[in-house]
Amino acid sequence: MGAGVRGRVIQSVPFLILACVLLFSSCERMPSLGKAKESAYLYEEDYAAEELLDEATVPEAAKRAAPAESDRGETGVPLAEGEPSSDAGEPFPVKADRRRVYSGYAKVLVDSVERKIEEILSLATVHGGYVESVYEHTVIIRVPAEKFSAVFKQILALGETLDKREETYDVTEYYTDLETRLGIAEATRERLYALLQKTTDVEERLKILREIRRLTEEIETIEGNLRLLKELIAFSRITVELVPRLSFEEEARERIPFGWIAALDPLYVSLPVLRGRIDLDLGDQFAQFEKERAFRSESADGVRVRVGTAPNDPKGDGEFWQTALAYHLDRYYGEHVTVEVGRIRAVLLTSKDREPFYYLVGVYVDGRKIHVVEVFFPGKSALQAKRDIIMEALAEMRVR
C-alpha cells in the first residue's frame, strides 16, 4: 500500500469508530414490553447508520468481517439457516409464533395441608417441573408451559376451589427487541475487531478497544435478559394457597375494616389496577411486564415488584396508612419494621417460616387515591441482593 493510501485509511479510522458507535447508540436503552413503535424508530436510525458506514471508506477486511448482505434479514442481523428474508419493509421479520408467559393461582380448601403439599410437589416432579418455594400454607411450582393447563386442573381437583386465576403475558415484541439489539451489537463489535486489525496507531487502537469493551458489556446484559425471559416462557409458575377448613386467620382477615389491606397477598396480585402512570426504574436486572392494568416487574431470583391503586377512604396521610398496615398485618407475620423512602411510607414484614420470605408494603398517597407498592423477596439472599436497588428506585418514584 502506498503512503498516500495508508494515510487515507488511518484518517478514516476516527470516522469509522463514530459510525460504529452511531450504529449501536440508539439501542442503548432497554425497550419495555409492547413498545414496538419505539423499537421500529430505533431500528430505522440503526439501519441508516449502517448504510452510512458501508458507504464510508471501510477497509476491505472490515467489510469481509461483517455478515454478507445476502445473509442478512431486514434488521441487519444474520439470518438463521433456512429462515426467509422479509421484503415487505417491516422493521422486524413477521413470524406466526407468539411468545407468552403463563401463570396461575389457586386457593384451595383442604382437610390436610401437609398431605396436599406433598401431592403438589409430586405433580411438579412427574410433569418435568420443579419446586420454586414452599411456605407455611403456600406452594409455588414451575412446570413446562405445555403442561400448564393439565397440571393446573389437577391442582384444582385437590379440594374445594375458593379462588383461581390464570394469566397470560404476550412478550413477543419484547423478546424480538432484545434479539434485534443483540444482533446489531454483535455485528458492530465484529466490525470494530476488523478495524482494530487495520490500524497501527496506538491512540486509535485504544479508542477501538474501549468501544469493544463497552459493547461486550452491553451484549452480556442483553444475553442475561434473554436467558431470564426464556426461563419465564419455558416454565410456567403456579402458586397454590392451601386453606385448612378450620382457618382462624381467614376469619380474622374478614374483620379487617379496609378491604384492600385484607386482600393483600405477598405471592399473588392483590391490587390488579393502577390508576394513573408511574415512573419507577428498577434497572436491567428486572423484566417489566407492560400492557397490563397494573405495574409488574420481576428479577431472575424471584423478586417481584407490583404497584396498584386503592381508594384513600377514609382520607388519610402516609403515616395513617403505614400504621394501619402494621397493626392489621402484624399477626400474620413473625415481625415487622417501618420504612420511609421518598414519599412512600412502608412496612417490611418477615414471614413465620423457618426460612422466611420478606414482604414490603408501602403507600404513596395521591389525593383521593393510594398507590400501593408491594415487593416480594423470596429469601434473605434475595433481600440482601436487591433491597438497595429497590429502595433507590422507590425514592425516585413519581406519579403522573
CATH label of the domain that carries residue 160: 3.30.70
3-class secondary structure, 10: helix
Dist CA 380 CA 354 (whole Å): 12
Residues 329 and 369 in one domain: yes
Please indicate, yes or no, if residue 225 is contained in any of the structural domains.
no
3-class secondary structure, 347: strand
Mean pLDDT per 10-residue interval, the chain, length 400 residues: 44 50 46 38 37 36 38 37 39 60 92 91 94 91 94 93 91 91 94 91 91 93 91 93 76 85 90 90 88 86 94 95 95 92 96 91 95 96 95 92
Residues 351 and 274 in one domain: yes
Give how far Cα 254 sits from Cα of 100, 208, 241, 257, 311, Å: 35, 64, 17, 8, 18
Residues 145 and 274 in one domain: no
Residues 32 and 145 in one domain: no
Please indicate, yes or no, if residue 378 is contained in any of the structural domains.
yes
Residues 137 and 184 in one domain: no
Please indicate, yes or no, if residue 210 is contained in any of the structural domains.
yes
Residues 45 and 184 in one domain: yes
Domain residues for 167? Answer: 100-171+232-240
Domains in the chain, number: 3
Give which of 270, 286, 255 is closest to 363, Cα–Cα: 270
Q: Which CATH number fits the domain that encloses residue 252? A: 3.40.1000.10
Please indicate, yes or no, if residue 222 is contained in any of the structural domains.
no
Give which of 161, 157, 383 is closest to 266, Cα–Cα: 383
Q: Cβ(294)–Cβ(274) under 8 Å? A: yes
Instruction: Read off the C-alpha cell for 198.
Output: 487495520
Whole-number pLDDT of residue 247: 66
Write a three-state SS string for 42-57: HHHHHHHHHHHHHHCC
CB hemisphere CA count around 302 (13 angstroms): 21
Dist CA 227 CA 220 (whole Å): 11
Residues 298 and 353 in one domain: yes
Q: If you search the block for the grid coordinates 496507531, which residue do you land on? A: 201
Q: Where are the alpha helices (DSSP H) in 135-201?
A: 148-156, 172-198
Q: Cβ(105)–Cβ(148) under 8 Å? A: no
Residues 177 and 149 in one domain: no
3-class secondary structure, 308: strand
Residues 26 and 143 in one domain: no
Residues 276 and 379 in one domain: yes
Whole-number pLDDT of residue 14: 52
Give which of 41, 3, 49 is closest to 22, Cα–Cα: 49
Dist CA 323 CA 5 (whole Å): 76
Please indicate, yes or no, if residue 88 is contained in any of the structural domains.
no
Please indicate, yes or no, if residue 346 is contained in any of the structural domains.
yes
Element (H, E) at 232: helix 202-234
Whole-number pLDDT of residue 248: 59
Please indicate, yes or no, if residue 51 is contained in any of the structural domains.
yes
Please indicate, yes or no, if residue 130 is contained in any of the structural domains.
yes
Residues 51 and 124 in one domain: no
Whole-number pLDDT of residue 111: 82
Residues 69 and 39 in one domain: yes
Q: If you search the block for the grid coordinates 447508520, which residue do you land on? A: 49
Dist CA 346 CA 259 (whole Å): 18
